[in-house]
A = this chain, B = another copy of it.
Amino acid sequence: MVRQREFDEERALDDAMRLFWEKGYKATSLSDLTSKMGIQRPSLYSAFGDKEELFEAALRKYVKLHSSSIRKKLQNNQSVKKAFRTFFEELVEEEYKESPSKGCFCINTMVELAPHDEKFEILTREHQLYLSVIFQETIAEGIKSGELESSLNPKKVAQTLVVSLIGLTVLMKSRPERSFIDNSVTMILSLLK
């Protein structure tokens, strides 16, 4: 009714998302959060609940952005093969551009929290499943258009691409020789016959 919030909730959640993404759940303190978000503790608690609720909101925001970003990158391409190649190459380029690499917030959470908290096990599982469906639909279109062989199993290939995407993203955190990654991308894309 009366005094209205002085900070932009969506903006603050975005700051929290980036911080949890970079540092993980445990390693991010409330002091880190409030200073990055530019708000005080009581404001954080009244707006987002406790640390875990804020983390969950941040992750949900991330997977929403991540899904639509990937969907966007794969569509509007005349060639499905080229779309996937560009997608993987840009991903690798992006990760090697900055040090440390940004990685994927959802993958980080799969490792840190999914084994110890069913809520995050489900949330991360469903995101990976969703990505595999996006991949699958893209591959199915490629078959329909005649670009890809009809003997290809869109679901199986899509799932394998998701597994490979996870593997690449995690491995790049150790910053291996670029050829390690490039070779793998080439081999993986060879599954799209």
Contacts and interface: CB of A to CB of B under 8 A. Distances in A.
A115 B173 contact: yes
Residue of A156, A174, A190 most packed against chain B (CB within 10 A): A174
A146 interface: no
Interface stretch (A12-20, A56-64, A77-85, A179-187): A179-187
Query: How many copies of this chain does one complex carry?
Result: 2
A101 interface: yes
A interface SS class: helix
Contact of A176 (B100, B125, B186): B125
Interface of A: 23-24, 26-27, 100-101, 103, 107-108, 110-112, 114-116, 121-122, 124-125, 128-129, 132, 153, 155-157, 159-160, 162-168, 170-171, 173-176, 180-181, 183-184, 186-188, 190-191
